[in-house]
Structure 1
Amino acid sequence: MNILFVCTGNTCRSPIAEALLKSQNIDGLEVRSAGIYAMDGGPISQNSQLVLEREMIPYTHSSSAINESLVDWADLILTMTASHKHAIILGFPHAISKVYMYKEFVTPNDIQDVSDPYGGDLNTYEGTFKELQVLTNELVNKLQGEIG
């Protein structure tokens, strides 16, 4: 299964989500991330890097803009906000059946956006990390239920 996480610039939320899910080492699962307005080849944000390093979550990251090949590669596309979801559906209407907000997919009763730490201090990034960690744990449980 191929999962693509999408946020705005592919420097904060989606790379953290990607690193968290990859760190679970689930057989047969490939994970990537991209951004609606990302530039190709950019670094992860400094505070995202610090949070991942503090939590000892391994990562390698180079930002990617969402494109047709990534959309086609993905079996499941998880966005951080409703606006990201709508942008993908508008740009890639054939992908509508596999695009969900992250919270919508794992906790259908909570369909709010994942908080955006961009421009915030380290505590703000730690809060977003914790939010994504909870979502990732829920996602893993859901995937293992579907696989098993």
Structure 2
Amino acid sequence: MVGAMPYNVLTVCTGNICRSPAAEALLRSRLDDSVRVASAGTGALVGHPVPDRMAELVSAAGGDVTRFAARQATPAMIQEADLILALTVRHRAWVVDQVPAAVRRTLTLRELGRLVSTIPPGTFDPSALPDDAARLTELVPLALGERRRHAGRPHDDDVVDPYGRSGSAYRASFEQITSGLTPILRALS
């Protein structure tokens, strides 16, 4: 697969300074070079860094946001992405409103984690695939196929916005991100 197109993941929150950069940094630190991860905001605080409280949590988990600068999500970024991970249901709706064709590749991060966690054992074999791009290409449709199994039950797929709040709010937000990512990263390994 030399010269293959990279698989593009875009994480989206409001200001692009707390939740989506944390998810971006964690994914980037754990996925191979076949996947490009970026983030953007629906109402970005363009140019702003990640606040210290979130940066410390990301750094302790092995991610790096030292040179991060927030940017505004654009239709072009959404069109370019193979997978869009929104941090709330509202962000997902905003993405799909911008680019309606993105509906089948836009999920909330916690929704994808929830769906992946119910894929029947033996359905997905990451070891048979050459890299994380190939694994994601196969995993996401399998996860989408799990939606009907989750239908009709209430789900909290939002990651709480910690911006300007207490240290415990940042920890709660970060834990929601990592718990959403855990089943996804486990499935890929």
Whether TM-score is above 0.5 comes out as yes
Deviation of the 1:111 alpha carbon: 4.4
1:19 corresponds to 2:25 = yes
Rounded Cα–Cα distance in structure 2 between residues aligned with 1:30 and 1:138: 19
Partner of 1:64: 71
CA distance in 1, matches of 2:51, 2:176: 17
1:73 aligned to 2:92?
Answer: no
Structure 1 portions without partners, runs of 5+:
none
Measure, in 2, the Cα distance between the counterparts of 1:56 and 1:5: 18
SS of the residue 2:30 aligns to: coil
Verify: 1:103 aligned to 2:110, yes or no: yes
Give the corresponding residue for 1:129: 174
Query: RMSD of aligned C-alpha atoms?
Result: 1.8
Letter in 2 for 1:7: C
TM-score, length of structure 1 as denominator length: 0.87
Q: Map Cα deviations across residues 45-81 of structure 1 (whole Å, 9 max, x no partner).
A: 2221122234443223111111022112210001011
Partner Cα separation in structure 1 for residue 102 and residue 95 of structure 2: 8
Query: Which 4+ stretches in 1 moved above 6 angstroms?
Result: none
- Gaps spanning 5+ residues in structure 2: where? 1-6, 116-149
Q: Residues 5 and 33 of structure 1 are in contact (CA less than 8 Å); yes or no, is this contact kept in structure 2?
A: yes
Partner in structure 1 of residue 38 of structure 2 = 32
TM-score normalised to structure 2 length: 0.69
Corresponding letter in the other structure for 1:30 = R
What fraction of aligned residue pairs are identical, expressed as a percent?
30
Q: Which has the larger radius of gyration?
A: 2
Determine if contact 1:101/1:111 at 8 Å carries over to the other structure: no
